[in-house]
A and B are shown apart, each in its own frame.
Chain A
Amino acid sequence: MIRLENIYKSFGKKTLFEDLNVQFQEGKLTAIIGPNASGKTTLVKIILGLVIQDKGKVFINGKNTFKDSSYRKLIGYMPQIPDFPENLTIKEILEMVKNLRNENLKMFDEIIEILKLNNELNKKFINLSGGTRQKVGALLAFCFDPPILILDEPFVGLDILSAYNLKSLIINEKERGKTIIYISHILSEVEELADYIMFITYGNVLFFGSINELKEKTKKNKLEDAILCLLNS
């Protein structure tokens, strides 16, 4: 379980989070949605330790993550734009992350097969297409079989088949009981995948609950309408 307690974060004079309290349910997929610059990525970055909060605490499985890097072994992170040293091959990148995490590749064959990366493993990162780079990001997030997955717009740049396969993989991992946090702008995807929605605007959480709860609350049948209703309210 991931819990953020009394989080404050400012960038210069601009305050983004003021006493933010959120709890992500274990074994559920929570989609974070919201307009541009609403704080989605910053929130995820606070969990990952990339952005350091001014005040407040982040707990992963009940343990405070402050000044601790070992908790990140529990997390598989797929960034929006994966970037690695350009002269390393995918195999070398995998080996490097394996050494950093000090653990074995548990789902390597399965993920390679799903993402169709067999023929790309010995290519340098600089020679990979945008879509293949995205697949490398997915491979690194999933292949260590971590209990928590954080995916930042995972389908951007993927072809139809790869996006379909990745979607199936995410559903499968959710069914295996993983806690998944997922940032997206595509509501049809969110409706298909998410158990919970966190709707955030400029650091304020306007809604946190299931899709049905949101529809009931806004008295709308379509998720898109419900979101627009939230925005206008």
Chain B
Amino acid sequence: MKYELFDIFKSKWLIFIFLFYSFIGYIFSYFGKELTRAILSHANVSLITLSLFSILFSSTYIYNNTKFIEFIITQPVKRKTIFISIFLSITLSLTISFSIGSFLPFFYFYSFNFNYLKILFLNCFIIPLFVSLGMFLAIIERDKLKGIGFAILIWLFTCALYDSILLYITIAFSSYPIEKIIIFLTLINPLDSFRLITLMDTGLYEIMGFVGKWLLKYFSNFWIISIILSLIYTAFFTLLSIFIFERKDF
């Protein structure tokens, strides 16, 4: 794992991610003029981009290092250990790159503040989830082009298509009592649930109307549920990937 981390830290991707979040953090803090706005804008961009970077970086890493992974399997190491160290190396390096890159501009403008630290901390949970998804895709699909295509499709689905489908259901079945189902469907998409937390945390739950009021009433500690939910998804895809990886022919 140590050497995979060495390799990843030297990659241009990580430097790009670090600079990207430093830049948007700086821009939002500078132009937003107040912390709430800066956090909200930064979190909105982070949710969309961090999931994309994580799923693309992890799947590309597996595709580009297939021969190396093959070599490691010929050494006296268990396949499960190999998979877990790659997963942890990618997750850890992306998390460090994102959190330091985002922390520095906020610290520069607002010094230490629990509000932005909490949102940055929550956004970090996007990384293992999308890394596990990216690795899962790269393991089940041998063709790099198809694998990356699927990765973009899944990202697009969780980011935009899912919300569009929910909107369609809401409009199509507006005369039925579907509120609870819609809330449930919103909450089970990790990106949506993290977006809700950010809105609630910055005191903007009113703009969500009914859902916001409902969440505030019943789920004051909603962020814990979102973290647990994203960890369950991560564990599911990681375990499934390990199961396939242990039986895969190279």
Residues on A lying within 8 angstroms of B by beta carbon are 11, 45, 48-52, 69-73, 75, 77, 79, 81-88, 92-93, 95-97, 99-102, 140
Report chain B residues within 8 Å CB of A102.
Answer: 76
Q: How far apart sit A79 and B76, CA to CA, in the bound complex (Å)?
A: 16
A50 touching B247, Cβ below 8 Å: no
Report chain A residues within 8 Å CB of B65.
Answer: 83, 85
Known contacts A72-B74, A87-B10, A100-B76: A52-B249 contact under CB 8 Å: yes
B76 touching A84, Cβ below 8 Å: no
Closest Cβ–Cβ distance, residue A207 to chain B (whole Å): 27
Chosen A-B contacts, 20 in total, with CB atoms closer than 8 Å, are: A45-B250, A48-B74, A50-B74, A50-B249, A50-B250, A51-B249, A51-B250, A69-B76, A70-B76, A72-B74, A72-B77, A83-B68, A85-B4, A87-B7, A87-B10, A88-B7, A96-B2, A100-B75, A100-B76, A140-B71
For chain B, the bracket of interface size reads 20 to 34
Q: How far apart sit A87 and B77, CA to CA, in the bound complex (Å)?
A: 22
Q: How far apart sit A86 and B60, CA to CA, in the bound complex (Å)?
A: 14
B250 touching A100, Cβ below 8 Å: no
- Please give 17 more A-B residue pairs, beta carbons under 8 A apart, in addition to A50-B74, A83-B66: A45-B249, A45-B250, A49-B73, A50-B73, A50-B249, A50-B250, A51-B249, A52-B247, A52-B249, A69-B77, A69-B79, A79-B71, A85-B3, A85-B68, A87-B10, A92-B3, A96-B2
User: Which among A73, A84, A101 is the interface contact of B71 at CB below 8 angstroms?
Assistant: A84
User: Which among A50, A69, A82, A92 is the interface contact of B6 at CB below 8 angstroms?
Assistant: A92
B7 touching A79, Cβ below 8 Å: no
Q: How far apart sit A51 and B78, CA to CA, in the bound complex (Å)?
A: 14
Known contacts A83-B65, A83-B68, A85-B68: A75-B74 contact under CB 8 Å: yes
Report chain B residues within 8 Å CB of A79.
Answer: 67, 70-71, 74
Closest Cβ–Cβ distance, residue B10 to chain A (whole Å): 4
Residues on B lying within 8 angstroms of A by beta carbon are 2-4, 6-7, 10-11, 65-68, 70-79, 247, 249-250
Report chain A residues within 8 Å CB of B70.
Answer: 50, 79
Using CB atoms, name the residue of chain A closest to B249.
A51
Q: How far apart sit A84 and B76, CA to CA, in the bound complex (Å)?
A: 17
B75 touching A101, Cβ below 8 Å: yes
Report chain A residues within 8 Å CB of B73.
Answer: 48-50
Report chain A residues within 8 Å CB of B250.
Answer: 45, 50-51
Using CB atoms, name the residue of chain A closest to B81.
A69
Closest Cβ–Cβ distance, residue B167 to chain A (whole Å): 42
Closest Cβ–Cβ distance, residue A12 to chain B (whole Å): 11
Report chain A residues within 8 Å CB of B74.
Answer: 48-50, 72, 75, 77, 79
Closest Cβ–Cβ distance, residue B3 to chain A (whole Å): 4
